[in-house]
Amino acid sequence: MECELPRVNESNDEIKKIFEDTKTIVVPGLSPDESKPSHRVAKYLQSVGYKIVPIYPKGDEILGEKVYKSILDVPFEIEMIDMFRKPSIADEMVDIIKKRGDIKFLWLQKDIVNNSASQRAKDMGIKVVQNKCTMVEHKALF
């Protein structure tokens, strides 16, 4: 497997604005296991005031929030997808963004890069961050 370097990424100023403009973050791959990065990062984001929406195939609740099986099942507005899944899933996320129409930001976590999906999202007017951790970036900027 060849590593892909991000060709599409927002500047630090844009990343700060993304955090400022976000209230609700959907987290595909949010694990109920407290030792997993997705759980630790989502718990941090929740602790600094963001509403976290877990997307996970099983269970009813993670971090005190209702679990949804799909982003398309979430019945309220979402500003950001914070993805903890393999890079190929980013293509599916862009399709979901197009269907929903309310998601403004696509964030691919540390070590996740998909330039073709990210460019598709950018072409739709979506701001994209790849290969960066939301928790690390938020702590650095605030």
What is the value of pTM for the model shown?
A: 0.94
Q: List the domain boundaries for the chain.
A: 12-141
Q: Residue 80 has what DSSP assignment?
A: E
Mean pLDDT of 67-83: 97
Q: Residue 68 has what DSSP assignment?
A: B
Whether the CB-CB separation of 85 and 107 falls below 8 Å is answered with no
pLDDT higher than threshold 50 for residue 1: no
DSSP lists the bridge partners of residue 83 as 108
Fold entry, domain 12-141: Rossmann fold (3.40.50)
Each residue's pLDDT tens digit, 15-52? 999 999 999 999 999 999 999 999 999 999 999 999 99
pLDDT higher than threshold 70 for residue 2: no
